Structure 1
Amino acid sequence: MIIPYNGKTPSVHESVFVAPGAYIVGDVTIGKDSTVWFNAVLRADDGPIIIGERCSIQDNSTIHMFESCVIEDDCTIGHNAILHGCKIGRKTIVGMGSTILDNVEVGEECIIGANTLLAGGIKIPPRSLVLGSPGKVVRELTEKDLQMLQMSSAHYVQKGKEFKDILE
């Protein structure tokens, strides 16, 4: 469901798949070929949320903002993740159940493992594997990891097209 708030209407590219039960509220911009899955909530009532192209916001994820929340191109945000006022660099996977809080910046091509907590304005360098609560960089990503990041984005673009066809 797309809901205007305080004079701001979400801008969702026509190619985006928005699943039934998802809520997109206020000053939200979603780029081409992205997907917003069942029961996800993107609520931009105090500042903008910007989702790049080919991003997947998976089931039950919540995205809110402090000043803003930016998710760059080709990112996968796993089921039940919470993102609040952070920036996620392109080609990054945020694992299921992870929480990323205000002023955290995650570099490009990172994997944030399931149930990881990032807080306190931490900055994660590009190509990092981050695990734990609180999250810590455990190693640099391998070439195999980087290939998986690209496949994740492409997989959800295709799934989104399939679901869009089924539900239209």
Structure 2
Amino acid sequence: MDPSAYVAPSAVIVGDVHIGAGARVLHGAVLTAEDGQVRVGENTVVMEHALIRGRDGYPTLVGSSVMIGPHAHLNGSVIEDGAFIATGAAIFPGSRIGAGAEIRIHGVVQVNTTVSAGDVVPIGWVAVGTPARILPPDRHEEIWAIQRELDFVGTVYGVDRGTSMDEIMRRQSEFYGSHGDDLILDD
């Protein structure tokens, strides 16, 4: 962590996380790099209760001068400089948000999707594919027609399509169970 950065005492930082100069991580935010890196650039602000997760093969790399709103969820994505990620946005693994792009309140960026520099995902809309098609949520069939080819279960869980939820959750339980003996480190 750069000495000029600030991390609120109630924020949680786990694993291979780097926080750049002038960055701010506010109360309740969680930056977790249990199996993949998290990088936060200079003068980026991570608001309350945001979750930033790095994944194996999908580090989360946040550029400089980025705003990440409260309750936003960034998971295995690249966020370029000057992007605006609003309250409650959900950004999935393998995605890329171009410089100056905006993902507005509760916008969704699906796995392996690229939102081009300067593009806007409106409030509650869904970006899917590369280049992204930006669609309202009521166009589920169009969204699914693109999304089904993006390999959600392979990207997120590392399994083949058709793997049972029993198997997926057994693996997830095993992975997160490895934290049973974690120790809390004080400064």
TM-score, normalised relative to structure 1: 0.75
Alignment of 1:139-154 (within 5 A): 139-140=136-137
Indicate the percent of aligned positions where both proteins have the same amino acid: 15
Take 1:21 and 1:141, find their aligned partners in 2: how far apart are those partners?
38
Between the two structures, name the one with larger relative contact order (CA 8 Å, sep ≥ 6). Answer: 1
- Rate the CA distance shift 1:57–1:135 in 2: closer, same or farther, 3 A: same
Take 2:98 and 2:31, find their aligned partners in 1: how far apart are those partners?
20
Matched, 1:137 2:153: no
- Rate the CA distance shift 1:138–1:106 in 2: closer, same or farther, 3 A: same
Q: Which residue does 1:103 correspond to in 2?
A: 100
Cα deviation for residue 141 of structure 1 reads 6.2
2:40 aligned residue (36, 39, 42): 42
Q: Which residue does 1:120 correspond to in 2?
A: 117
Take 2:74 and 2:44, find their aligned partners in 1: how far apart are those partners?
14
Residue type at the aligned position of 2:27: K
Matched, 1:69 2:85: no
Q: Is the 8 A contact 2:97 2:117 kept in 1?
A: no
- Aligned-partner SS, 1:91: coil
Residue type at the aligned position of 2:44: I
Take 1:22 and 1:123, find their aligned partners in 2: how far apart are those partners?
28
Unaligned runs of 5+ in 1: 143-162
Take 1:16 and 1:167, find their aligned partners in 2: how far apart are those partners?
16
RMSD: 1.8
Question: How many pairs were matched up?
Answer: 136
Matched, 1:167 2:172: no
Q: Which residue does 1:148 correspond to in 2?
A: none
- Aligned-partner SS, 2:127: strand
Unaligned runs of 5+ in 2: 140-178
Q: Is the 8 A contact 1:63 1:82 kept in 2?
A: yes
- Rate the CA distance shift 1:16–1:141 in 2: closer, same or farther, 3 A: farther
Q: Which residue does 2:154 correspond to in 1?
A: none
- Larger strand share, 1 or 2: 1
Residue type at the aligned position of 2:41: R
Q: Is the 8 A contact 2:115 2:127 kept in 1?
A: no
Q: C-alpha offsets along residues 86-119 of structure 1, whole Å, 9 cap, x if unaligned? A: 0011001001111101110111011110111111
Cα deviation for residue 167 of structure 1 reads 3.1
Cα deviation for residue 138 of structure 1 reads 2.6
Q: Which residue does 1:17 correspond to in 2?
A: 12
TM-score, normalised relative to structure 2: 0.68
Q: C-alpha offsets along residues 4-60 of structure 1, whole Å, 9 cap, x if unaligned? A: 3xxxx111110111112211121111111111111211121xxx1011111111012
Cα deviation for residue 61 of structure 1 reads 0.5
